[in-house]
Amino acid sequence: MRSMKCLNLLFAAFAMVGPLLAVASPPVTTVHLRSAQSGVQVFTVGLAFRKGDVPGYPQLQLADSQVVVKKRWNDGSVKHAVASGQIDLVAGQTVDIAIDAVANPPGGIPLTAADIASANPSAVVNLGGAVGNVSLQNLLGTPARTWISGPEMVEAHYYGVPNGNANMAVWFQVRLYKSGRLFVRTWIDNGRLDLAPVDRSYVPNVSIGGVPIFDNGGAALTHYAHSRWSQEAWIGATNAVEADIDTGYLVRTRLVPNYMSNVPAEAALNALAQNYTPLTNAGWTPNMGETGFQRQIGLLPSWDALYVTSHADPRARRAVMA
């Protein structure tokens, strides 16, 4: 009888402390945010998930955030997603944001392309008198598509043809954040599969938010057929957030090769082409017919591989983005 009383007391004790000992599920992965300036900053970062890790929806452990699913594996779990939001950062300090798997879809009222039209961002791509120009403001009422729509950020794409030059196309990718921050990227295509290829030469002039951002130094730019170039800028103050994913988890997704864990040499990282210049080769071999080693040949180009093996070194990230 006394033994039963002891057992009952033990079970009662376990019942009381059980909830206190419960351990929350670990996050699926993390994203790392940092900035060169202090204050509230907005961000957008692409995410990849291992098959089966997120059966429902991914969610950042950050109040002002959204995650929009773009692709699922064949078992229905999330494969690719895009996260956006805003966060108060201290200059030079990295903040790790955990990402959980949740069952319910996200709530909130999504921003739409109509909100972008109301914000009325300006951007103009001028390709010279022989080619023509395209203004974003003339296209705001007819977006080609809305790529992302959530309560924190909306991204819509706009398409225009300069002066009837059918083989030329100007695209604008516009992001509007809940805070009112606006980001515009434009890219200029030369060539369509159903039209004869033509090389173009023009003096470009790109302005975003009324601020000139690229004119090629006033020199003519040779725009080869079936190629493109791009420019981007924030309207207003620059938003200097750097976002990186957990490269160890990225390898575990099996979406990139499982490289050896050797630490890349400083010389290899320093040698990467880290700045974008329109229609230049960057790290690519100028003559594709050359034999022997070339940095772009492999399961991934060397700069992509270095991003993974260096655990998101900033030099490798800049090379990937360039």
pLDDT at 261 (0 to 100)? 77
Residue 126 domain-assigned?
yes
Tally of structural domains, the chain: 2
Both 229 and 267 in one domain: the answer is no
Both 213 and 117 in one domain: the answer is yes
Tell whether the model's pLDDT for residue 204 goes beyond 60: yes
Tell whether the model's pLDDT for residue 22 goes beyond 70: no
Tell whether the model's pLDDT for residue 13 goes beyond 60: no
Residue 48 domain-assigned?
no
Both 174 and 272 in one domain: the answer is no
How far lies 133's CA from each of 170, 242, 286, in Å? 9, 32, 30
In single-letter form, the type of residue at position 253 comes to T
Mean pLDDT of 222-247: 95
Both 119 and 221 in one domain: the answer is yes
Both 222 and 136 in one domain: the answer is yes
Residue 33 domain-assigned?
no
Both 273 and 220 in one domain: the answer is no
Both 133 and 192 in one domain: the answer is yes
- More confidently predicted of 259 and 202: 202
Q: Give φ, ψ of 63 to 5 degrees.
A: -60, -50
Residue 294 domain-assigned?
yes
Tell whether the model's pLDDT for residue 44 goes beyond 50: yes
Work out the pLDDT band at 93, boundaries 50, 70, 90. Answer: very high
| Token couple for 115 | 């909100």
Give the domain extent around 304: 262-322
Q: Give φ, ψ of 154 to 5 degrees.
A: -125, 140
Share of the chain above pLDDT 90, in %: 81
Residue 302 domain-assigned?
yes
Work out the pLDDT band at 290, boundaries 50, 70, 90. Answer: confident
Both 189 and 267 in one domain: the answer is no
- More confidently predicted of 182 and 22: 182
Distance CA 149, CA 168 (A): 28
Both 219 and 317 in one domain: the answer is no
Residue 147 domain-assigned?
yes
pLDDT at 117 (0 to 100)? 99
Up-side HSE of residue 142: CA atoms within 13 Å toward CB?
A: 6
pLDDT at 62 (0 to 100)? 98
Both 266 and 230 in one domain: the answer is no
pLDDT at 298 (0 to 100)? 86
Residue that is last in its domain, among 235, 252, 270? 235
pLDDT at 24 (0 to 100)? 62
Both 266 and 213 in one domain: the answer is no
Judge contact between 82 and 66, C-beta under 8 A: no
Mean pLDDT of 18-25: 49
Work out the pLDDT band at 190, boundaries 50, 70, 90. Answer: very high
Residue 15 domain-assigned?
no
Residue 282 domain-assigned?
yes
pLDDT at 283 (0 to 100)? 85
Residue that is last in its domain, among 181, 216, 235? 235
Both 120 and 226 in one domain: the answer is yes
